[in-house]
Amino acid sequence: MGAFAGRAAWGLLIAILVWAPLPYASVIPWAYHLLAVLAALALALALWDRRRPLRLPWELTVAIAAFLLAVGWGLLQGTPLALLQPLAHPLWSEVGEAGLKVQPTIALAPEGTRDNAVRLLTYGAVFLTALLLAREGERARRLFRLIFVVIALEAAYGLINHFAGWNTVLWEEGPKAYAGTVTGTFVNRNTFATYTGLGVLLGLALLTESLLRTGTFDDFRRRLVALGEEIMGRKGLLLVALVLVVTAHLLTGSRGGFLSLAAGFLLFVVGAFVITRPRPQTAFASLTALALAAWGLLALAGDVTFERLMRADTVDNPRTEAYALAVEMIAERPLAGHGLGSWTQAFQLHRDERFPGFWDRAHNTYLEHAVELGLPATALLYLAAALVFLRTWRGLHTRRRNRIFPLVGVSATVLVAVHSLVDFSLQIPAMAVTYAAIAGIACAQALPRELRRPELSRSHRATAVGDRPTVRTEAPAALTESP
């Protein structure tokens, strides 16, 4: 049963990653509820597979506990418990005084707390499933390839849609405000920019993986020549797919998406140099090649993005005023918050003539969570993310092989973290589950071997003390992982 459970979990994880972007990035209630069911089943089956017992380092243990406490508080916010009545939102008292029968809660929108808690738990389940299933190097590589292929197909669809002039999202007409830009099957171009940004990092890593294992300058030159030959052969399609993804990213016209990719790409380059420690001439040659490639792609498809960047200071942008209002809402209820998923209702209570339109998002994920959850629970939520990042960053420095995975993990985290300062991409289910899977794969490959392969470490310890080791059922990691 363990083998069947492992295969079923693997299939469900693949289904989640392939399916999530298709129905409008899974923003429709039935779509993200389906994701929640699939993610729960995948995690349960992955845990059931006793062939791969999981031992967690202290960082991940604390991260999981902090995450569950934050989500648990969100659920309590929407629960009408007598113990929590002193913390109930004052609006419910006003409604009761008006003669309406209500059940006071901390949250302004109790139904929203359950909905958003389910989403967060879904992302956490995808992360843990990927962590459990991607501890072998080849499995991790297959998942990276799968995610890149899905993003490349999304980019190809978006480009066909754009150049054909259809301006549709699947079979419906797309938003007029986004006419002339690429959104794929996502409704929002900014979220699609973050999504394709992840694809750029994955594609770069898969294309240049052999260069990240170089030692001397001669070794680098030999591998560079070999890479050129591979690009003319079996890696040619990978390069074409990467160009498509970069082009689609630039044609989204998203300023935040472009700047966040720049931040993630910068960390990717710095991390690559930390891994390889190249000689100055090697570093100069690499940077020159990257600069020329970037310049060519920007000249080809960067007009839309650069046009918006150039007029960023001349267009009225009420986001800064919304951020200031969000800070006021946080100060009003810093501990209890207004309720997970209650941003829209809280904003409606505090808005004024400066905000004539409908604001269903804060366009800053950190401020929105602080408004909804309160500062303590928000701190726990981001403590979990920070601990995962630190564990992955540590693996980037301590591992000797397969460092492509933690490198992409830390770069992707910087990308989504920067974009979350000005938008809400991580609050879109398809984007969030894709990033959660990348983070889980990267974190799994950042773990030391005794945690990734506990059955081997036990056998090694038995040999060291003179005991008779048990018969191994699989080859050592050095034989099964790619060099």
Give Cα 54 distance to the centre of its chain.
22
Alpha carbon distance 5, 235 (integer Å): 34
Alpha carbon distance 282, 180 (integer Å): 40
92 CB neighbour count, 10 Å cutoff:
19
CB 428 within 8 A of CB 191: yes
pLDDT of residue 82: 82
Q: How many CA atoms lie within 13 A of 159 on its CB side?
A: 17
Inform me whether the pLDDT recorded for 277 exceeds 70: no
Across 293-297, 380-384, 472-476, the highest mean pLDDT is recorded for: 380-384
Q: Residue 247's pLDDT band (boundaries 50, 70, 90)?
A: very high
Task: For residue range 6-26, list pLDDT tens digits in order.
Answer: 899 999 999 999 999 999 999
What is the mean predicted confidence (pLDDT) over 278-282? 58
What is the mean predicted confidence (pLDDT) over 82-108? 85
* The two three-digit tokens of residue 339, written as one number: 């309720």
* The two three-digit tokens of residue 461, written as one number: 């310890």
Task: For residue range 137-157, list pLDDT tens digits in order.
Answer: 899 999 999 999 999 999 999
Least trusted range by pLDDT, from 71-85, 108-122, 213-227 = 213-227
Inform me whether the pLDDT recorded for 160 exceeds 90: yes
pLDDT of residue 480: 35
Q: What is the pTM of this model?
A: 0.86
Task: For residue range 60-77, list pLDDT tens digits in order.
Answer: 999 999 999 999 999 999
Inform me whether the pLDDT recorded for 463 exceeds 70: no
Task: For residue range 15-61, list pLDDT tens digits in order.
Answer: 999 999 999 999 999 999 999 999 999 999 999 876 666 778 889 99
Q: What percent of the chain has pLDDT over 70?
A: 78
Alpha carbon distance 97, 231 (integer Å): 72
What is the mean predicted confidence (pLDDT) over 172-193? 85
pLDDT of residue 72: 96
**How would you class 78 by CB atoms within 10 Å of its CB: exposed for 0-12, middle for 13-18, buried for 19 or more?**
buried
Q: In terms of DSSP H, where are the helices of 134-187?
A: 137-164
pLDDT of residue 51: 65
Classify residue 205 as left (phi > 0), alpha (psi -120 to 50) or beta. alpha
Q: How many CA atoms lie within 13 A of 281 on its CB side?
A: 5
Q: Residue 224's pLDDT band (boundaries 50, 70, 90)?
A: low
How far apart are the two ends of the chain, measured CA to CA in Å?
Answer: 32
Mean of the per-residue pLDDT values of the chain: 82
pLDDT of residue 417: 96
Tabulate helix, strand, coil % of the chain (nearest 5).
Answer: 70, 0, 25
Where do we find the tokens 């602080």? Answer: 370
pLDDT of residue 212: 67
Inform me whether the pLDDT recorded for 84 exceeds 90: no
